[in-house]
Copies of this chain bind each other. A is one copy, B any other.
Amino acid sequence: MQNFTFKNPTEIIFGMQTIFQIGEEAAKFGNKVLLVYGQGSIKKNGVYDNVVKSLKGAKLEITEFFGVKSNPVLSHLEEGIILAKREKINVIVAVGGGSVLDESKAIAAGAKTDGDVWDFFVNQTSIQDALPLLTVLTLSATGSEMNPTAVITNEGKQQKFEISSPFLFPKVSILDPTTMYSVPKSYTAYSAVDTISHVIEGYFTGDDPYTPIQDRIVEGIVQSIMENTEICLDNPEDYQGRAVMMWAATLALNGLPVSGIGEFSFPNHMIEHSLSAIYDIAHGAGLSIVIPGWMTYAASGAPVKFAQFAERIFGIVSNSPERTAEMGIEALKSWFRNIGSPVSLSEVNISENDIEMIAENATMLAQKWQLHEYTKDVITEVLKLCC
């Protein structure tokens, strides 16, 4: 195990009917609420009404700010900051999925600076303060509800950058699994893939070979997600299934599974970013294409951890770690296929001829993400394994 620091002060309020606690909780931090949400789907499933009722019940003054896009953009973020300052907002309530939460974090930081919020993203100017943020999660996968990170796209400069600061931990996040009942099967599957990807990146790339607790937490999350994805696909209103998936997604990216594993990286996310940047493809769908290919590439010559994964997740035994690893990768790929997430470029109509262009794009990301071992040749090799 490597040295580490872990601190995560976000309060999680989890369970059925917990949404009605948002007013009382927000009132602990302020009385002038900026209520941030997306394209209005929360008005269809009753979440909006319940949140507003709870906020009004706590006598809070509400200013609404909506229209957050998936992959939230700087121009909209800047509108939110102007509004927050003008209305003298003292607490933010974000209602939605990862995009709404991320943009709300950036508004929280931006509202406390006289400077340009994009400086926080480009120059990593350290954030010194932020408005208190509470969240009501309606689509779990990104883990933003229990971490201090946000990703925003500067559409003018075509830059998708990240900020991270201890000031950006949500004060309180409310996770009511019933808000997930209306998530369609496709996105239920993609969110499962995304959660699995969040834990296996560290599991397979961490530079410390001896991390038994962290490994088992990851394996436990993967197994729980796999069992419960199938339950939710069979019955989208299975409360227990949705609850397990929601809590697993939060734990996957709250910092605990990677504490002590040393340096690690996100090569699958890097290559997938290029896919979804170029093609109209959901993040989870892109990941289920990239992961088996990347695993095959990475297991070659270093199969031990991949064999452990195969043994513990799928109960695979064989006469060599190479073969066990290979069978595990095949089993994961089959599972992705079974839940309806694509496992090859051709399935999403990406031609093998495009690989060079995708690799070109991903190589630039590799520079930015400092994954220098991911040369264009390496990325091309991985992408060929995704065909």
Expressed in whole angstroms, the minimum distance between the Cβ of A82 and any Cβ of chain B is 32
Bound Cα distance A9, B7 (Å): 6
In the complex, whether A253 has a CB less than 8 A from a CB of chain B is: no
What copy number does this chain have within its complex?
A: 2
- Contact B8 A8, beta carbon cutoff 8 Å: yes
Quick one: which of B6, B15, B248 contacts A11, CB cutoff 8 A?
B6
Bound Cα distance A4, B175 (Å): 10
Quick one: which of B17, B213, B227 contacts A224, CB cutoff 8 A?
B213
- Contact B7 A247, beta carbon cutoff 8 Å: no
In the complex, whether A220 has a CB less than 8 A from a CB of chain B is: yes
Q: Which residue of B lies closest to A208 (CB)?
A: B240
In the complex, whether A14 has a CB less than 8 A from a CB of chain B is: yes
Bound Cα distance A378, B6 (Å): 43
Bound Cα distance A221, B219 (Å): 12
Bound Cα distance A243, B212 (Å): 11
In the complex, whether A63 has a CB less than 8 A from a CB of chain B is: no
Bound Cα distance A223, B212 (Å): 9
Quick one: which of B2, B12, B18, B224 contacts A7, CB cutoff 8 A?
B12
- Contact B2 A6, beta carbon cutoff 8 Å: no
What residues of B have a CB within 8 angstroms of the CB of A219 in the complex? 216, 220
In the complex, whether A265 has a CB less than 8 A from a CB of chain B is: no
In the complex, whether A217 has a CB less than 8 A from a CB of chain B is: yes
Tell me the chain A residues, 206-258 only, with Cβ under 8 Å from chain B.
210, 212-213, 215-217, 219-221, 223-224, 227-228, 240, 243-244, 247-248, 251, 256
In the complex, whether A58 has a CB less than 8 A from a CB of chain B is: no
In the complex, whether A260 has a CB less than 8 A from a CB of chain B is: yes
Expressed in whole angstroms, the minimum distance between the Cβ of A15 and any Cβ of chain B is 3
Q: Which residue of B lies closest to A223 (CB)?
A: B216
What residues of B have a CB within 8 angstroms of the CB of A4 in the complex? 12, 14-15
In the complex, whether A5 has a CB less than 8 A from a CB of chain B is: yes
Expressed in whole angstroms, the minimum distance between the Cβ of A128 and any Cβ of chain B is 15
Range, interface on chain A: 35 or more
What residues of B have a CB within 8 angstroms of the CB of A5 in the complex? 11-14
What residues of B have a CB within 8 angstroms of the CB of A6 in the complex? 11-12, 14
- Contact A216 B224, beta carbon cutoff 8 Å: yes
Expressed in whole angstroms, the minimum distance between the Cβ of A224 and any Cβ of chain B is 4
In the complex, whether A259 has a CB less than 8 A from a CB of chain B is: yes
Bound Cα distance A173, B248 (Å): 26
- Contact A224 B240, beta carbon cutoff 8 Å: no
In the complex, whether A353 has a CB less than 8 A from a CB of chain B is: no
Quick one: which of B3, B12, B240 contacts A210, CB cutoff 8 A?
B240
What residues of B have a CB within 8 angstroms of the CB of A256 in the complex? 256
Q: Which residues from chain A sit less than 8 Å from chain B, CB to CB?
A: 1-18, 210, 212-213, 215-217, 219-221, 223-224, 227-228, 240, 243-244, 247-248, 251, 256, 259-260
The 10 closest A-B pairs by CB, nearest first: A3-B15, A216-B220, A9-B9, A7-B11, A1-B243, A212-B224, A6-B12, A213-B224, A210-B240, A4-B14
A-B contacts, 26 listed (Cβ < 8 Å): A1-B14, A1-B240, A1-B243, A1-B244, A1-B247, A2-B15, A3-B14, A4-B12, A4-B14, A4-B15, A5-B11, A5-B12, A5-B13, A6-B12, A7-B10, A7-B11, A14-B260, A210-B240, A210-B244, A212-B220, A212-B228, A213-B224, A215-B220, A216-B219, A217-B217, A247-B260
